[in-house]
Amino acid sequence: MSTTSPAKQINLTDIIAPSFYELHHDITAGFHTFYKLAGGRGSTKSTFVGTEIPLGIMRDAAAGRFTNALAYRRYKDNLRSSVFEQLLWGIDKLGVSHLWQDTLSPMRLTYKPTGQQILFRGADSATKSKSIKVSRGYIKYLWFEELDEFEGPEKIRSIQQSVLRGGDKFTVFYSFNPPRSQKSWVNDPTVFTMPGMVEHHSTYLTVPQEWLGQEFITEAEHLKAIKPESYEHEYLGVATGTGGEVFTNLKIRPITDEEINTAPRHRYGIDWGFAIDPFCFVACGYDRKRRRLLIYDEVYQVGLSNRAAAEKVKQHGGQGKDIVCDSAEPKSIAEVRDYGLRVRGAKKGPDSVEYGIHWLQGLDEIVIDDKRCPNAAKEFIGYELDRDARGDFKAGYPDHDNHAIDAVRYACEDDMKRGGVKIGGW
């Protein structure tokens, strides 16, 4: 990998860390549009983007394509000290500073041979993105730096809908250090995703040490020794959690039809709902030997009558299956039974909620297919202990945002045995 300047040939391997080589080739070939770059301190992910954007603009110019770029931070006050300086660094390292003009008012970088521009904006108001214009060509490159600082995926989509117009090929970068909590929207794959998005994770361990300096390495190793969890979060970019996560045994991934068909036991559960709370039906596969639970299908909807809910369950394979329901609504149980479902109420006891959650926590794996079951995945990932006014965790498990969790507990009640005797009065 190399580029050239009038003075010398520049080797991209002197600018881009080895962990980004494959990604660079993917971007150059135009294989994907969306690139989600997560990583810890010193991973050089922002350095990589700050090099790829000016390099891409110049490469497009050489091919006769007039493209531009736009870099975002959550607040405009942070632009100059972050993305602006990072792009200037990339331009300098590429050996082409003489070909670029930088201005601060308005903040922009201009490629002198063609007039192509890199613009900078704060996302203080997503509506301002609609007024962004370029004199020629279109905005091909879009960079959201410190993605986790933005309000949420709705803001990102709004900006993209306003900016990504007028061209046939786009490249969008999202760079960030993962927040501690898996519940954060940037960490949750059920909340933030884009079609065909490439997800890349990097750390300082794949960066040449001479790039970082001995002081950086010493500080990292010191933190590793005294506070390993903080080290994992800050330097390895791991979402280590807030300490309040209830389920730490989750695997969010696709579940194949073969896995479903070969599951030793199939379990089905229902948690009732109508106006505010959703009706929730789940289908699970349980492997007792492997201590693994697959959650592979769901019905999750507000406003369903019992008749409509029964039809939905039949469409999702519930016809003729033994389904365990919340026993708090005997009338609903009787009604859906009349509609052709084989249902019975869960045998609740005084500690059934705690025991059911403990049982789920004790499994080696809870695998959830977030495409088939987006709501179940969201609930299990986001289920955390509540805090009191002082910020301390409350005793007991929260009784909110847990409809799929309850349905799974009901579904698996026959598997929750200790020495052959059911617990909690079950």
**Cis amide bond preceding 106, omega within 30:** yes
User: Are residue 109 and residue 186 in the same domain, yes or no?
Assistant: yes
Q: Which two tokens stand for residue 98?
A: 């003489």
User: Are residue 206 and residue 266 in the same domain, yes or no?
Assistant: no
Q: Which two tokens stand for residue 269?
A: 């559960």
Q: Is residue 160 part of a domain?
A: yes
Supply angle C-alpha 377, 382, 388, rounded to 5: 160
User: Are residue 60 and residue 119 in the same domain, yes or no?
Assistant: yes
Instruction: State the helix-helix crossing angle for 21-29 and 45-62, rounded to 10 degrees.
Output: 30
Range of the domain at 416: 250-422
Query: CA-based diameter of the chain, in Å?
Result: 83
User: Are residue 203 and residue 302 in the same domain, yes or no?
Assistant: no
User: Are residue 298 and residue 211 in the same domain, yes or no?
Assistant: no
User: Are residue 32 and residue 67 in the same domain, yes or no?
Assistant: yes
Contacts of 346 (CB under 8 A, 6+ apart): 269, 324, 325, 326, 327, 352, 409, 410, 413
Look at residues 207, 224, 241 and tell me which one is the last residue of a structural domain: 224
Q: Is residue 75 part of a domain?
A: yes
CATH value at residue 312: 3.30.420.280
User: Are residue 353 and residue 304 in the same domain, yes or no?
Assistant: yes
pTM above 0.85, yes or no: no
User: Are residue 41 and residue 189 in the same domain, yes or no?
Assistant: yes
Contacts of 66 (CB under 8 A, 6+ apart): 60, 114, 116, 136, 137, 138
Q: Is residue 232 part of a domain?
A: no
Q: Is residue 242 part of a domain?
A: no
Task: Measure the CA–CA gap between 370 and 317, rounded to whole angstroms.
Answer: 18
Task: Measure the CA–CA gap between 248 and 255, rounded to whole angstroms.
Answer: 19
pLDDT for residue 229: 86
DSSP states of 7-36: S-EEEGGGTS-GGGHHHHHHHHHT--SEEE
User: Are residue 161 and residue 266 in the same domain, yes or no?
Assistant: no
Task: Measure the CA–CA gap between 45 and 153, rounded to whole angstroms.
Answer: 21
Q: Is residue 238 part of a domain?
A: no
User: Are residue 191 and residue 269 in the same domain, yes or no?
Assistant: no
Catalytic residues: 146
Q: Is residue 243 part of a domain?
A: no
Task: Measure the CA–CA gap between 158 and 400, rounded to whole angstroms.
Answer: 30
CATH value at residue 97: 3.40.50.300
pLDDT for residue 349: 74
Strands 365-368 and 292-301: parallel
Look at residues 189, 224, 259 and tell me which one is the last residue of a structural domain: 224
Look at residues 208, 224, 240 and tell me which one is the last residue of a structural domain: 224
How many other β-carbons are positioned within 10 Å of the β-carbon of residue 357? 19
- What is the tally of structural domains in the chain? 2
Answer yes or no: are the C-beta atoms of 56 and 141 closer than 8 Å.
yes
pLDDT for residue 184: 83
User: Are residue 291 and residue 370 in the same domain, yes or no?
Assistant: yes
Q: Is residue 236 part of a domain?
A: no
pLDDT tens digits in sequence order for the chain, 426 residues long:
655 544 457 899 999 999 999 999 999 999 999 999 999 999 999 999 999 999 999 999 999 999 999 999 998 888 999 999 999 999 999 999 999 999 999 999 999 999 999 999 998 765 566 668 888 999 999 999 999 999 889 999 999 999 999 999 999 999 999 988 877 889 888 889 999 999 999 999 999 999 999 999 999 999 999 989 889 999 999 988 777 889 989 999 999 999 999 999 999 999 999 888 999 999 999 999 999 999 999 999 999 999 999 999 999 999 999 999 999 999 999 999 999 999 999 988 777 888 899 999 999 999 999 999 999 999 999 898 888 887 777 878 899 999 999 999 999 999 987 433 333 333
Task: Measure the CA–CA gap between 89 and 83, rounded to whole angstroms.
Answer: 10
Task: Measure the CA–CA gap between 193 and 297, rounded to whole angstroms.
Answer: 20
Task: Measure the CA–CA gap between 104 and 379, rounded to whole angstroms.
Answer: 45
User: Are residue 209 and residue 275 in the same domain, yes or no?
Assistant: no
The distance of Cα 196 from the centroid of its chain, to the nearest Å, equals 13
Q: Is residue 237 part of a domain?
A: no
